[in-house]
Structure 1
Amino acid sequence: MKIDNEIKLDFSDVLLRPKRSTLNSRNEVVLEREFNFLHSNSSWKGIPIMVSNMDTVGTIPMLKATSEFNILTCLHKYININDLINAVKDDNKIVNNSVLSTGISDNDWANLTMKIDLLEKENINIKFICVDVANGYMISLIKFCKRVRKKYPNKILIAGNVVTREVVEELVINGGVDIVKVGIGSGSVCTTRLQTGVGMPQLSAVLECADAAHGVGAHIISDGGIVVPGDMSKGFGGGADFIMSGSMFSGHDESTGNIIEEDEKKYKIFYGMSSDTAMNKYNGGVAKYRSSEGKTVKVLYKGPVKNTINSILGGIRSTCTYVGAKRLKDLPKCATFLRVNNQVNTKYN
């Protein structure tokens, strides 16, 4: 037994300190970044925000909408490959912002290779593969990543989720991973911390894992914990190269599910991929040896996702002007975090 007495921080525990700025307008801030990746010898240019690979938000309509902003959508692993081919064929912008998802079972491997084979027959080259498991500390994840890297040496390989430096380094050095996905239990519809007592506050996880990944030439995605646009800015300020969110993109026209009307308000359903809802849908129920680690919620209907994206990007641009960062890339070196007891005035909440 061991106790780490260092206090770990979440996005809600800090604010960014304002600094002198030479920027005259939010419009001067450059949000696009260009990345070159360690193992794949591939590159990508765009705004490094990613829609989570949850089946309520990681959809083809979402991919089409986010591609207009050069934002990535991580498609859920149950996506219909024929629908995807029809959606992305002859549109390089959509292809460039697509991410395929997979688990690590033999069936997942068969599905992944089948999808890539069918895409390649249509001359569609989706660059990104996301190997996604809730517990990134399993040796089987490393083995699966090695297998993917060997078969697809030029693909940009994402894998996770983890929250500590040693496994970030292991995934990069021995697993051939280009981008490590960081976050355990931080999602809005994730109950892992309640069910297991395992996790780490997201900002501290980002700080630790970004330092580890950058030290070996790789990158990280901060996955989860985003409540408001300012949280994305804090994630970038903490060293995250990409920010992934599900909840921010839920409840839109591009999200799956019908609109539900109750008490003259409109809602859409949003759920975690380890929830009863997801496991009943895809696995025939919750296996006897495990428990649900997600919840199902109703979120207010928000209309087209472009409005939310504009709000997010406007918030990040404003952050950059407050701290003097001319480019999103500069935000970490301009960021000073203040530990706070309270973030906002809640009188009219």
Structure 2
Amino acid sequence: MIIESDLKLDFKDVLIRPKRSTLQSRNDVNINRTFTFLHNQRDWTGFPLIAANMDVVGTMGMARALSRYGAMTALHKHYPADDLIAFFQSDDSGNVFYSLGITEADADKFRAVKAKAPVDKLCIDVANGYTERFVETVARMREENPDIVIMAGNVVTGDMTEALLLAGADIVKVGIGPGSVCTTRKMTGVGYPQLSAIIECADAAHGLKGQVCGDGGCTVPGDLSKAYGAGADFVMLGGMLAGHDECEGDLRHEERDGQRIPVAMTFYGMSSDTAMHKYAGGVASYRASEGKTVEVPYRGPVDGTVQEIMGGVRSMMTYIGATKLKEVPKRTTFVRVGAQLNTVFGGG
């Protein structure tokens, strides 16, 4: 048994210290980034936000909406093959990841789709990225698809970040347990504070010219700023994008003044009872649910939320004098805090 006593931090534990700046306006900053991916050496430019591959959020409708802002979407893996083929044959698929797990059925479905449609981004997604089988799957998919961008995860430590990049991943997805509808930490006791996970994994990835995507833990726009400051090249969101028109959760309506008004939408983790009953016929006898099902307020089109996020990032950059988003980690100094919000009215 080993106890690590080094301090590990979450987003709530820090704030970003402002720095003297010559910037005059939020219009003076560039929130896009350009990356050259490690294995296929192709360039990508855009706002490095990715909608999570959860079946409520990682939708084709979300992909079309986020693409207007240069952001990306990881589609959930439960769309029928024919629907995926039609989508990837369209003009809407440029900023979209095809998602799959590590079963042979997942691989066969991907091969069938790719044989008929130009898929150029792949998200290989499991809850536990520490298994040999997962690393072997990443290596096999890289060998079969030398020209594709591969994002793989999830892990929270530098050693496994390096292992996945060496196996063939371009982007490593970072996060175990921080998601708003994830109960892995409660059910298993396993996890890692998300800010420290991003810092450590980004340091490992950047040494090999790879990228990391911080997945989970963001609850407000300022958390994305902290993730970018910690070295995240991309940030993946689930709960912050839930409840919008582009999602595929069930809407609950209420009668108001003789009209049926949408007020809430279901949102659930992909290891929840809800997801496992929907896709696997129930929770297998050898495992427990590691996700929960909640209702989030209905929030209309996602455009307002995306603009709020982008505005928060722009404002952060003016506070620390970063003209380009890629400069943010070098200009970020975190200060530890006991509380970051004044919650006297409305809880923050």
Q: Identify whether the pair has TM-score above 0.5, normalized to the shorter chain.
A: yes
The aligned counterpart of 1:73 is 73
> Per-residue CA shift, 1:214-246, capped at 9, x if unaligned?
011111000000000000000000000000010
Counterpart check, 1:238 vs 2:235: no
* Match 2:210 to one of 218, 226, 248: 218
Question: Given residue 272 of structure 1, which amino acid in structure 2 is its aligned partner?
Answer: G
Question: 1:33-52 maps to which residues of 2 (within 5 A)?
Answer: 33-52=33-52
Match of 2:57 in 1: 57
- Could you tell me how far 1:42 is from its partner in structure 2? 1.8
Does 2:196 align with 1:198?
A: no
One-letter amino acid of the structure 2 residue matched with residue 210 of structure 1:
A
Give 3-state SS (helix, strand or coil) of 2:30's partner.
coil
CA–CA separation in structure 2 for the residues paired with 1:102 and 1:310: 29
TM-score (norm 1): 0.95
SS of corresponding position for 1:118? coil
Q: Tell me, yes or no, if structure 1 residue 109 matches structure 2 residue 104.
A: no
**In the alignment, does 2:142 pair up with 1:142?**
no
Q: 2:176 aligns with which of 184, 190, 193?
A: 184
Match of 1:96 in 2: 94
* Aligned residues of 2:87 and 2:93 also touching (Cα < 8 A): no
1:1-349 aligned at under 5 Å gives the runs 1-91=1-91, 94-119=92-117, 125-173=118-166, 175-261=167-253, 266-349=263-346
3-state SS in 2 of match to 1:347: coil
Amino acid of the residue matched to residue 44 of structure 2? W
Contact kept in structure 1, 2:266 and 2:296, CA below 8 Å: yes
Q: Residues 114-154 of structure 1: CA distance to partner in whole angstroms, max 9, x if unpaired?
A: 111121xxxxx232100000000000011101110011001
Encode CA deviations 1:97-124: one digit per residue, 9 max, x unaligned: 01000100111111111111121xxxxx
SS of the residue corresponding to residue 99 of structure 2 reads strand
What stretches of structure 2 of length at least 5 have no aligned partner?
A: 257-261
The aligned amino acid for 1:117 is A
Q: Residues 88 and 119 of structure 2 are in contact (CA less than 8 Å); yes or no, is this contact kept in structure 1? A: no
Aligned counterparts of 2:303 and 2:265: Cα–Cα separation in 1: 17
Counterpart-to-counterpart distance in 2, 1:207 and 1:172: 16
Question: Which amino acid in 2 is paired with 1:81?
Answer: A
The residue type paired with residue 158 of structure 1 is: M
C-alpha offsets along residues 255-294 of structure 1, whole Å, 9 cap, x if unaligned? 0033203586700000000000000000110000000000
TM-score (norm 2): 0.96
Aligned partners of 2:22 and 2:82: how far apart in 1? Answer: 50
Aligned pair in 2 of structure 1 residues 263, 297: CA closer, same or farther (>3 Å)?
farther
**2: CA distance between counterparts of 1:319 and 1:112?**
39
How far did residue 81 of structure 1 move? Answer: 3.5
Cα deviation for residue 326 of structure 1 reads: 0.4
Matched-pair contact (CA < 8 Å) for 2:57–2:242: yes
Give, in angstroms, the shift of residue 85 of structure 1: 3.9
The alignment's C-alpha RMSD in Å is 1.2
Q: State the SS of the aligned residue for 1:101.
A: strand
How much does 1:40 deviate? 1.6
Shift of 1:88: 4.9
Distance in 2 between residues matched to 1:118 and 1:85, nearest whole Å: 6
Give the drift of 1:96.
1.6
Shift of 1:80: 2.9
Shift of 1:168: 0.6
Between 252-261 and 302-311, the greater mean CA deviation after superposition: 252-261
